[in-house]
Amino acid sequence: MQMKSMRLKKLSRLLVILCLSAFLAALSGTPTVMAQVSPRKKSTTPPIPAKPSAPAPFAPPRPVEPFRCERYVLYRGQQIPCDSIVRQDAERLRPIIEDVPAAVLELNKYQKNRRDIRKAAYFGTAGIVLATAAFFISQQYHDSASELQQQGDTSGAQAQSSKSDIFKALTWGGLALTGGTIVFGISLLRTNELHLGNAVREFNDARPETPIELQFTTEIRF
């Protein structure tokens, strides 16, 4: 009996060992499952383009003056523009000569004559417009008088002819106005430069220690 009990104990121990070894073998043979991170798919949607920036605006080209004459004043070693940016009026000379009344008076005469020259140009343009319009109207009355004369309407032809003569006189009047303003403008333009020279001379006589000098630059550009 004692022998059987010992065998049973050995068998039970052997079974326990076999069960444990089988359990351990089962654990060791089980594949370990590891979580795999699937690679991130690249987006096939094209990116939204950025808003295009507007190109820099082109600077407008400066107008080229083919015939250009600039006047300067040489004063205390500095070359100063004589005229304003609007027209040739020698206005930038005024702050220099304002302490000499005689020089300022000559400058005022110079600028007044420049304004008179511009007015003469307006009158000359009006004379050209008047002469052109009167000429065409006179021709219409002349043609109408010729037609009435051919039709035998003598009184009507004379009336139209009289109107034609009136507009012919206006044509010659417009041409005379234009011619007169041209002669006046040219003569005044030639003599007006003397007032500018007199203004400089009066200032130099009153301020001999700081004289001024007019300088001219003429350019022809293509």
Q: What is the pLDDT along the chain (222 residues), one digit of tens a residue?
A: 544 455 555 555 655 555 555 544 544 444 444 444 445 555 556 666 666 666 666 555 544 444 456 888 899 888 888 888 878 888 989 999 999 999 999 999 999 998 898 899 999 999 999 999 999 999 988 888 888 888 888 888 888 888 888 988 999 999 999 999 999 988 888 888 899 999 999 999 999 999 999 887 655 444
Tell me if 144 is assigned to some domain. yes
Tell me if 182 is assigned to some domain. yes
Tell me if 33 is assigned to some domain. no
Tell me if 132 is assigned to some domain. yes
Q: Which two tokens stand for residue 38?
A: 């699937």
Tell me if 35 is assigned to some domain. no
pLDDT at site 37: 45
pLDDT at site 30: 43
Tell me if 194 is assigned to some domain. yes
Element (H, E) at 183: helix 154-206
pLDDT at site 31: 44
As for how many domains the chain has, the answer is: 1
Tell me if 116 is assigned to some domain. yes
Q: Which two tokens stand for residue 9?
A: 């104990």
Range of the domain at 110: 100-209
Region of 36 please: left (phi>0), alpha (psi -120 to 50) or beta. beta
pLDDT at site 64: 46
Tell me if 31 is assigned to some domain. no
Tell me if residue 23 falls in helix, strand or coil: helix
pLDDT at site 129: 94
Edge-first strand order for the sheet with 78-81 is: 78-81, 67-75, 212-220
Element (H, E) at 79: strand 78-81
